[in-house]
Structure 1
Amino acid sequence: MNVHEVRKLFPILDQEVNGKPLVYLDSAATSQKPVQVIEKLNEYYRKYNSNVHRGVHTLGTFATDGYEGAREKVKKFINANSIEEIIFTRGTTTAINLVASSYGRANVGPGDEIVITPMEHHSNIIPWQQVARSTGATLKYIPLQNDGTIDLTDVEKVVTENTKIVSVMQVSNVLGTINPIKEIAAIAHKNGAIMVVDGAQSTPHMKIDVQDLDCDFFALSGHKMCGPTGIGALYGKKELLNKMEPIEFGGEMIDFVGLQESTWKELPWKFEGGTPIIAGAIGLGAAIDFLEEIGLDTIAAHEHKLAQYALQRLSEVQGVTVYGPEKRAGVVTFNCDDVHPHDVATVLDSEGIAVRAGHHCAQPLMKWLNVSATARASFYLYNTEEEIDAFVKALIKTKEYFGNVFS
């Protein structure tokens, strides 16, 4: 992969911010979009904007073909068995909430356990808190090792025959930890539990095979993988989805409606009430085409190289604490001594460098790290080592500035 040629496909990167070349290191929050995705969205709205499934006219047929074609692309991208197992959602948060509200509330009760980890994004904590609260189930946590990884012996101890649901992120949005999902799923299934995976941070960066992982549900977000905002997908094993009830009711998801009762469409449409996110799904399909053309293994190798280079460069800067394991995805979360992360991010922005600062929707993990917030640089297929050099140079300048202020 020639990263400089790839960068030419992302128009937003060719600009200055605060008089400096933009260095975008916030892809864990949302990725930038290549021209292929932007043009596909433009094409839909300019040429065949129409609702799907309901009409027989030409524009409606084009829209339906694009929308359902995108579902097929998602199926192949994560190696699902069938398009019936792919539910379009607004993103990972909506997908996990669907599983929690439909499957969780119907299948757990007093004495049952739901198991997650302290590193989870809030969207994989709060839904399970609500399920536990409403059903009387117990919410349990797999402890973390000192470097922010999971030890499978701890999983064996925490997951018991009373566990009904295990829900774990594949890649931490803060630590960059890559969790052993396949092994955790095997432990869950051995105890009669189902395995839910938050794939928001893994799907854009590595090859996903839900059949090999043997997870029961897998959630992803399009906006983190070069696709539009407001679109994502939930994979679920067909036998589980068939048993679940919809949580949104209205048009599109019905089969028959009478005055007193109604019936639902078959999978996957029974979970897609209302006019769907048509343009978003079509744009997501274009993003998948783009990522597959480059190759997920190529992207993963590039990001691993960037992460290791960033760790090396940051180790040269005194007073910087980096969190997470040595082996990680393309995320580096850090703090500078005596400088608040928001101040770090503000000064970096003045140098044209975009990083994230705050609790990253992971407050329990912040508490575990014994900090209130951190700064985070995250990398994608369009970032370069030169950009990391610029980031580190600006970080040194930030430390010098605040050192002079407080000296």
Structure 2
Amino acid sequence: MNKLTYKELMFISLMLFSMFFGAGNLIFPAFLGHSAGMEMWVSLSGFIITAVGLPILGVISVGKVGSLNTLCSRVHPWFALVFPILIYLSIGPGLAIPRAGTIAYEMGMSPFLPADLADKPMMLFLYTILFFSIVLGLSLSPSKLVDRFGKLLTPILLTLIFIIFIKAVVTPIGSFKAPNATYDKHSFFQGFLDGYLTMDALAALVFGIVVVNTIRSKGITRSSFISKYMIVAGLGAGALLASIYSILGYLGASSSTIGEAENGAQVLTIVMNALFGQMGTALLGLLFTLACLCVSIGLVISCSQFFSGIFSILSYKAWTVVMTIASLGVANLGLNQILAVSEPILGAIYPIAVVLIILGLLGNIARSVYLSTIVFTGLFSLTETINHIFLRDSLDELLAYIPLYQAGVGWILPALLGCMVGLVISILYKPTTAQNLSYTKDVG
């Protein structure tokens, strides 16, 4: 078989969308809309560039070169081993999967428990056992992922969101208010930074292997075809993400005059109570549970496929069990503890991932450019992480001299400097023909 049908491509796009669309993707655009008010559409355009554009570019970048390992090999063989492991551990059992389990409990179960039971660790433990049992059961057969996501879970998730949106349009719950101070003067750039902080670009690198394996399971073996279909699936998922973010942003903005909220979960709670009354809490809980379930299954499959390929001493199914049990254990540390330990580490990895995606899109540029750009970016990210974790931000005054540091993207200047250094090295030192051939072979 040399091509996929339009229907198969649609289901693969839906599968990719559902793997991206977790609880955080519900919360961020809703809170943006609530805070931006009348500036919502301007802020949302910036948000979509980074919350949709970067992840889809990540999928395209991986599809273009063939795999995350091939992309990382352009930097250095050791980088190709260490960096993917850090990504999979951080966005897998170290943070994203356990966080999804705890958020599903807090939004889908805790509101329905008596107050004296909701905060008890035993209730979280019992819930996460059930949650991760379902995740494990649906992750053991990755070949059925398209059927389960594209044909079942994703349509249910999208139907719920569109029902909420139609209800909000038919019976408006409020009006758009003036933006708060954060979104008043720089609404576009604030939305741009909000989207950057979703960190879905890491997920794009992780999910690449799942999309590749799904396409291969349909009988597609030529790398050029795999790359083309990954791009199409990425664009389809991106269009759907942008549409849903627009709906959630609208819902958040329309609720800005009927209540105050400190986070996106509270915004959605206000919206659902206004639209559906007490039934809204149950509907919101179902929405969060499905979103968390989808992203957890996608991440468990991605991590298990990766580690079974690197450490073949355990089979894919054995790694699935390991990933699920590890996620269950971390989830029961509690959400605050998970975020306190993992988010600074994730923040150090993320700029490197963004730079790697951009370099991958540029094609077979000199290895020195890859190496120096990643080294400069990595050194800055490591310094920033040490400053936050160990030095209690004592270097903030010094680091503030770096452009865009206070905006959270201070790594951009070091990355550009590294790129220029690499270009100079590539001009001064031209690889031999044999080295060029070796590089071409390494990067596919």
> Please, what TM-score do these two structures have when normalized by structure 2?
0.28
- Bigger relative contact order (CA 8 A; separation at least 6): 2
Looking at secondary structure, tell me which structure has more helix per residue.
Answer: 2
Looking at secondary structure, tell me which structure has more strand per residue.
Answer: 1
> Please, what TM-score do these two structures have when normalized by structure 1?
0.29
